[in-house]
Amino acid sequence: MTKLTAALLLGSALILTACGSKTETPEKMEETTVKTDRSDVAHKGHKGVSNARTYTDAGKTDDDHLWLEEVEGDAALAKVKVWNNATKPRLQNDSYQTLKSDLLEIYNSPEKLARISYRNGEAHNFWQDETNIKGVWRKTSLDSYNSDNPTWETVLDVDALAKTDGENWVYKGNSCLAPEYERCMVNLSDGGKDAVTRREFNTLTKSFVKDGFYLPESKGSTAWINQDQLLVGVDFGEGTMTESGYPMITKLWTRGTPLADAQELMRGEVTDVGVWPTNFENADGENEILIIRSVTFYESENFWIPQSGGNAFKPVKLPIPRKSNLSGQFKDQILLTLQENWRGHKSGAVLSFSAEEFMKSGKIETLNVVFAPGARQSINNFGVTKDAVLMSISDNVSGSAHLFDFNDGKWSSSKLPFPENGNVSIGSTNDKESIAFVTTESFLDPDTLWTVNTSDQSISKTKSLPHWFDSSSMVSKQFEATSSDGTKIPYFVIHKKDMDLDGDNPTLLYGYGGFEVSLNPSYSATIGQAWLEKGGVYVLANIRGGGEFGPDWHQAGLKTKRQIVYDDFISIAEDLIDRKITSPQHLGIHGGSNGGLLMGVMMTQRPDLFNAIAIGVPLLDMNRYDKLLAGASWVGEYGDPDDTGAEGAFIRNLSPYHNIDPDGAYPEAFIYTSTKDDRVHPGHARKYAQRLEDYGIPFLYYENIDGGHSAAANLAESAHKNALIYNYFYEKLK
């Protein structure tokens, strides 16, 4: 991972993806993190069914239930406890206890993959188990890591730190200064919030630096320039945060000086999403300052800040399109991913240009094509090593890995020999090292971790997860449904081989459909044990709004075009029924965050298709989503609710909170969220539940006091949450 790539990961805090992929299995979460909708025209859905529903009088105003937006208000928390207590006897029965016990055994298993970041000859890992509840940052040598029984050395014990500090710390990763990786900024969250406290840490002494860099709780980011200078984008006080709740200012802070005296480098606008500091390297291997101004969620401006010469500290804007991402650096080449057509290159392509050329002239004369995807291809992820760029490429939602090199002014590539018909993901990379890690998996094949040495292109199998469920008795198939506009929508179905096509199979359909997030084939011990082994069918929907086929697949569902995302999902549900895989009585759906909005829309538009709906950490009040926490940053995805034209009207007609029919027939939904979620406000879930209660519509509810946007801050909480979810589906769909 290059420093530029690592720093850019801070933007992931803006995206609603904590629950964006399938229900995440904690065994995939150990790697140390290095660094960061109402329309006036009814829409005719699949098979002529009108999906969008227009209510001229929803029966309630936007001001109803605002008291539930007070996150830790006495009245709001009292109501939450009433709902939690009412749900507990329904879902925490004997089958729940068995599920939780089985899942916790998996989550605490020493056989989990200890995913690492490789730095300066050392393998670093963050690990949680039944002993290390909050987790431990630890390290070992590469040879030790590759052995059957690695010898780990503790770098930071978060449980011990939380006890000493008297704080409910949740570890949120670190950002270290290359190439020694001795000095790091450690990110600590109170209960799992996105906002973190940042403290300078010395990995050699394994202690926090006395009088070192320290930043109190805030959303934002930092980036190292050198050992004595840190780029800082945090809350500097009144008037320094955007409407989205992210930093508006980046400063250069010098060791030994007050933060108040830090040099301001760039100030954005209050209407921006945020201003983010990062860096890239010059020809001498020194860090240059780069600042990213996110004007909207999908549009940004990038500025180089020279540190010397006649133009010292005067921003120089990079002449690249707003809808593009700087994605790392290899040799002198800065990598650029397009989200729009530009200079003869199509959206989705990865290009590169010379850092030295730009710094000399302020222009980008020569563009080099790294990779240009085809119509059914997309780029999953990529990483940079000392010798190459490793890229995961998806073709019809099936992954492969490729190695790219740059010589004599052009890029060359070769495909790496990894298993096919599954997912291939580029794991930890480091632009100072030749060692990188790649993970392969499928729905029925556990994660396998491979070590790639990019200096000689050798590949060795390092570790694998055990088979936590009997996948030999199961089969995975890919189908396509036809959406309302005739587009073919792929989806995966996983089930036991002896399943009868009689419409009686309990089936769980999962979807997300937003923010260019791809749902790829992946192995989940949670889904396997809690659902598939019990005879359930699991379905993964690759609907528009995601990134399965690149930016165009995502942009097809933006703002007023969003109904097509929901039509895609409906078409899959209907296709499952047509194939007699299941029936409405036995079909349940699940989604979190943006996927929680998807669930809310399904409940208000097509409740007849489903008998169970799990709505996780959701957006549901789309008329006020931009007023709550990070909501303003997502206007580029959903549109502006305050718009007086078609955009505002569409959002109003879409909003699940406003479109609950008092006389409607709905499945008994299970709504879950977290008090500590400072990304998607828990008020969405609370107000939706309250409106259901107002109308006498049954529902189940669970709100975790800790856990942030993932709704779980440790493995025990993850087991509890997932046991509730799958027990709910089991009871409803069996």
C-alpha 695/C-alpha 669 separation (Å) is 14
Chain center to CA of 184: 23
C-alpha 343/C-alpha 329 separation (Å) is 21
Give the H or E element holding residue 79: helix 74-91
Q: Going by C-beta distance under 8 Å and a sequence separation of 6 or more, which residues neighbour residue 408?
A: none
**Structure-token pair, residue 537:** 């069918």
C-alpha 540/C-alpha 493 separation (Å) is 7
Of the residues 554, 586, 681, 709, only one is catalytic, namely 709
Least Cα distance to 500 among 573, 426, 563, 581 occurs for: 581
Q: Is residue 611 a contact partner of residue 733, using CB atoms and an 8 Å limit?
A: yes
Which residue is listed with tokens 């929901």?
566
C-alpha 408/C-alpha 494 separation (Å) is 47
Q: Is residue 352 a contact partner of residue 370, using CB atoms and an 8 Å limit?
A: yes
C-alpha 12/C-alpha 516 separation (Å) is 12
CA 175, 181, 184, 186 torsion-angle sign: positive
C-alpha 360/C-alpha 353 separation (Å) is 13
Chain center to CA of 162: 26
DSSP line for 644-689: SSHHHHHHHHH-GGG---TT-----EEEEEETT-SSS-THHHHHHH
DSSP helix/strand/coil, 631:
helix
Provide the 10 A C-beta neighbour count for residue 105. Answer: 14
C-alpha 551/C-alpha 567 separation (Å) is 19
352 given a catalytic annotation: no
Of the residues 352, 593, 655, 674, only one is catalytic, namely 593
**φ/ψ (deg, to 5) at 641:** -65, -20
**Structure-token pair, residue 640:** 């502006």
What are the percentages of helix, strand and coil residues in the chain, rounded to 5? 25, 30, 45
- 232: phi > 0 → left, psi -120 to 50 → alpha, else beta; which? beta
Neighbouring-strand partners of residue 414: 403
C-alpha 67/C-alpha 59 separation (Å) is 18
**Structure-token pair, residue 44:** 């005719």
467 given a catalytic annotation: no
Q: Looking at beta carbons, which pairs linking 47-54 to residues 24 or more positions away fall under 8 Å?
A: 47/574, 49/570, 49/606, 51/484, 51/563, 51/566, 51/567, 51/570, 51/605, 51/606, 52/563, 52/605, 52/653, 52/654, 53/604, 53/605, 53/653, 53/659, 53/661, 54/653
At 466, which amino acid appears? P
Chain center to CA of 59: 35
Q: Is residue 374 a contact partner of residue 388, using CB atoms and an 8 Å limit?
A: no
At 574, which amino acid appears? E
Helix residue ranges, H only, 318-376: 355-361
**Structure-token pair, residue 583:** 């029936």
Spell out the SS3 assignment of 9-48.
Answer: HHHHHHCCCCCCCCCCCHHHCCCCCECCCCCCCCCECHHH
C-alpha 225/C-alpha 313 separation (Å) is 14
Tell me the catalytic residues: 593, 709
